[in-house]
């Protein structure tokens, strides 16, 4: 047929030489891929070990706990002006007062006169309190020249008694631990025939536990 070349006849010797050449090229390529080691043995593997940096930890000594005093039960305070008395001879007033120029927002005041010279008031303590404290004296608006005796009795036993004139005051603190009853008494012993009232006040009278 025109336009088509005839296939060439290749001798067996040339086919053998081409096969040998191809095999040689393949072996050389394999050797190069293995790192160029002509002996055919593999290269030994190198292991690189990275040593981590040394970290030095400094242990701080634990701080010693601060020593503190043991705390007991919380203390309590009870003002007499907030309590209802068990009984009273002539009643009490719980208004703000001034005694010897000092103001007291909480007070118990008992009025006395020549016609009613004694006034007392009694409270139930219920054996719950340890101390009683107050500032005692005549209220500053009492008549000039007045003088009253203030007394405190605990379960029938007199624990305080003192005569105090107008313009003077006395701070007291008494032990009332395990007491059931406390009585406050104000007494007028003057001779005021005009019937003026004198005000015996217990400023900030309170119980403590």
Provide the residue ranges of all domains of the chain, joining segments of one domain with +: 77-208
The model's pTM is 0.65
Which comes out higher in pLDDT, residue 46 or 120?
120
- Tokens linked to 163: 């005569």
Question: For residues 43 and 191, which has the higher predicted lDDT (pLDDT)?
Answer: 191
pLDDT score, position 142: 95
**The domain over range 77-208 is classified in CATH as 2.60.120.1060:** yes
What kind and span of H or E run contains 81? Answer: none
Partnered with residue 198 across adjacent β-strands are 112
User: What's the token pair of residue 133?
Assistant: 């404290």
Find residue 161's DSSP bridge partners.
Answer: 151
pLDDT tens for each residue of 180-206: 999 999 999 887 878 899 999 999 999
Average pLDDT value over all residues in the chain: 78
Instruction: Specify the higher pLDDT residue, 130 or 26.
Output: 130
Cβ-contact 204, 104 below 8 angstroms: yes
User: What are 158-186's pLDDT values in tens digits?
Assistant: 999 999 999 999 999 999 999 999 999 99
Residue-wise pLDDT for 85-100, tens only, equals 999 999 999 999 999 9
Q: Of 53-57, 71-75, 119-123, which range is least confident?
A: 53-57
**Mean pLDDT, rounded, for 138-148:** 95
98-116 CB burial, b ≥16 within 10 A, e <16: ebbeeebebbbbbbbbbee
């Amino acid at each position: 047929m025109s336009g088509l070349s005839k296939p060439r006849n290749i001798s067996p010797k040339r086919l053998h030489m081409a096969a040998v050449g191809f095999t040689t090229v393949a072996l050389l390529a394999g050797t190069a891929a293995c790192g160029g080691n002509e002996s055919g043995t593999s290269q030994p593997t190198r292991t690189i070990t990275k040593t981590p940096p040394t970290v030095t930890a400094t242990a701080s000594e634990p701080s010693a706990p601060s020593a503190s005093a043991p705390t007991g039960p919380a203390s309590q305070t009870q003002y007499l002006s907030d309590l209802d008395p068990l009984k009273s001879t002539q009643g009490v007033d719980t208004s703000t007062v001034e005694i010897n120029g000092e103001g007291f927002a909480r007070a118990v005041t008992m009025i006395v006169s020549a016609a009613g010279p004694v006034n007392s008031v009694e409270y139930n303590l219920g054996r719950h309190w340890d101390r009683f404290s107050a500032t005692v004296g005549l209220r500053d608006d009492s008549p000039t020249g007045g003088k009253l005796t203030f007394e405190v009795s605990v379960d029938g036993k007199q624990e305080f008694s003192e005569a105090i004139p107008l313009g003077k005051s006395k701070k007291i603190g008494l032990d009332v631990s395990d007491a059931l009853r406390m009585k406050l008494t104000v007494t007028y012993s003057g001779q005021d025939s005009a019937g003026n009232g004198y005000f015996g006040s217990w400023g900030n009278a309170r119980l403590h536990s």
